[in-house]
Amino acid sequence: MRFRQRAVAGFTTLLLPLAALVGLAAPAEAASTATATFTKSSDWGTGFGGQWTVKNTGTSAISSWTVEWDFPSGTSVTSAWDADVTNSGNHWTAKNKSYNGSIAAGASVSFGFNGAGSGSPSNCLLNGGSCDGGTTVPGDAAPSAPGTPTASAITNTSVNLSWSAATDDKGVKNYDVLRDGTKVATVTTTSYSSTGLTAGTDYSYTVQARDTADQTGPVSGSVAVHTTGGTTTPPATGSAVKLGYLTEWGTYTRNYQVKNLVTSGSAAKITHINYAFGNVTNGQCAIGDAYADYQKTFTADQSVSGVADTWDQPLAGNFNQLRELKAKYPNIKILWSFGGWTWSGGFAQAAANPTAFANSCYSLVEDPRWADVFDGIDIDWEYPNACGLSCDTSGAAAYKNLMQALRAKFGSSNLVTAATTADGTSGGKIDAADYAGAAQYVDWYNVMTYDFFGAFNATGPTAPHSPLTTYSGIPTPGFTTADAIAKFKSKGVAASKLLIGIGFYGRGWTGVTQDAPGGTATGPAPGTYEQGIEDYKVLKTSCPVTGTIAGTAYAHCGSNWWSYDTPSTIAGKMSWAKTQGLGGAFFWDFSGDTSNGELVSAINSGLS
């Protein structure tokens, strides 16, 4: 997926390097255990964005933190994330959330807020001591983590939980019970009966202790609970997969929100969503865009549920919107896709220790804050043992080893899938890695049967970027959907594990005089977000189809030449996919479709 580029969000200024932070505190003794530092990350005159960073400078873990400061009159916090912020007059207090109270030695956590006014904080305290490293938690340690809860007496609508007690130097007062990362009860005993649940639904429970000073300790391990009954089973084995990519950056400039899947009618016509992308860095799975993923708040008119987010809710962003989507369409399965064109360079380090990589991915995907949102993981490595944005030399076996480790960690109850190259040439990218060996560990491959040709070859020749079959004059024999599928089948990959790919966009050139494919060009045609690329919803009216070739369409308007799929060509491709026994189809991405989802409708109709 060559053209995927992350949009620059207005909130990227919050992600500042620690070197830029300036400490604020009254003079105190030299730093010994922890510091709190503040930076004003943005300023728009009447308000600003701020960020605090708490760093553990000691040699043992900190189990909780509280930052206090004073604002001058006229300055206040209007919204915050990753901390519970309250005030008494001009004195402000921020306490850790359940998920970020523990800080390992040498590590740090940050929380941010938007403020009104123009003042700066003063008189900073961290856990009762000076923010520049004075004594912390004077005389009272936070409680330990309780034991991981055990579940019993599970019914359609309830479950009984029990856990071993936490310890504290001054005594434990009570326990917070968290369901899917949200506090649902506070109890004084080590047991709780959770009622009012939905039949046939997955939940995750953790608990957290509070001491007599109301300090919270670390969250316990989580227990997964699946209530009995219910009719919201996944699609039957053998039914066609209809999968679409939803990009995290679509929430910005493109203004494509999860709710658009509902208003377009597309949510009722798909089976799966790939949420793209998580990062792959330091040999681990990592958050791609924290603000878009789980921090951004949506107004009522933007929200799937029609209810506005609040600044202090435990989970916001796209993840919460996807949770709301699943509540409306419980048969939709959602996978978190990692890598992509920009972040595939991280897979080489991941492949060096597949088990550690798989463990990191599982911990992130199954994070209690959003574990109920995701039904598995998708890997988009472009490309194993071959070249994409960068070149990989991990060896042909690395891909199989990575998929094997992921399946072992995620187990049989989660989906494990992958996007793959569609290079069907002899000695090409399909031949470079052990896709056949890896296939036993994946539920399916998303074969990226598009982007074969485009204005990355600026002078042409013009050619359809997603040809179904070959044709006379094709610039590179083997660069077709049929060749890619045939190559995978020849290696022993089952047809039912192969999905055909559809691009909801076109690729185009300018400076073209010839209507038929094979013409010369002077460069990429203008595009809304990137030169040489345009959404179908724009092209269908700005440059209507003038011909078809190799099962796809092309259009010549003025000096521009585009190729793209239409409802008609998609119908032909879906018919072909069924004759080949393929597992279904996927597309990149929802935002390129019309407001009434006509391309999604074509895929749905073609596979039904």
Residues 6+ apart with CB under 8 A from 579: none
Terminal C-alpha separation, the chain: 27
- Nearest Cα neighbor of 285 from 214, 228, 339, 221 is 339
Q: Which of 6, 128, 74, 20 is nearest to 389 (CA)?
A: 6
Contact 447, 486 (CB under 8 A): no
Which residue's entry shows tokens 């708490």? 54
Residues forming a β-bridge with 96 = 83
Q: Per the structure block, which two tokens stand in for 80?
A: 């915050």
Backbone phi and psi for residue 530, each to the nearest 5 degrees, phi listed first:
-155, 140
382 noted as active-site residue: yes
179 Cβ contact list (under 8 Å, min separation 6)? 194, 203, 204, 205
For the chain, the 3-state helix, strand and coil shares in percent, each to the nearest 5, are 20, 30, 50
Catalytic residue chosen out of the listed positions 248, 366, 382, 534:
382
In angstroms, the Cα distances linking 550 to 517, 569, 601 are: 11, 10, 22
Residue with tokens 């983590």: 145
Distance CA 356, CA 87 (A): 42
CA distances from 118 to 19, 40, 42, 71, 567 (A): 23, 10, 11, 10, 54
Cα–Cα distance measured from residue 524 to residue 547, given in angstroms and rounded to the nearest whole number? 20
Q: In sequence order, what DSSP letters do the residues of 176-200 get, joined into one string?
A: EEEETTEEEEEESSSEEEE-SPPTT
Q: Which residues pair with 312 in a beta bridge?
A: none
What's the order of all strands across the beta sheet hosting 223-226?
A: 182-187, 172-179, 202-211, 223-226
Q: How many CA atoms lie within 13 A of 479 on its CB side?
A: 15
> Is 523 in contact with 509 (CB distance < 8 Å)?
yes
Q: Indicate the SS3 state at residue 14.
A: helix
Task: Name the token pair of 517.
Answer: 């494919």
Round to whole Å and give the CA distance between 38 and 109: 12
Tell me the C-alpha distance between 439 and 420, whole Å: 11
> What's the DSSP call for residue 590?
G
| Euclidean distance between CA atoms 482 and 462, whole angstroms | 20
Would you name the residues annotated as active-site residues?
382
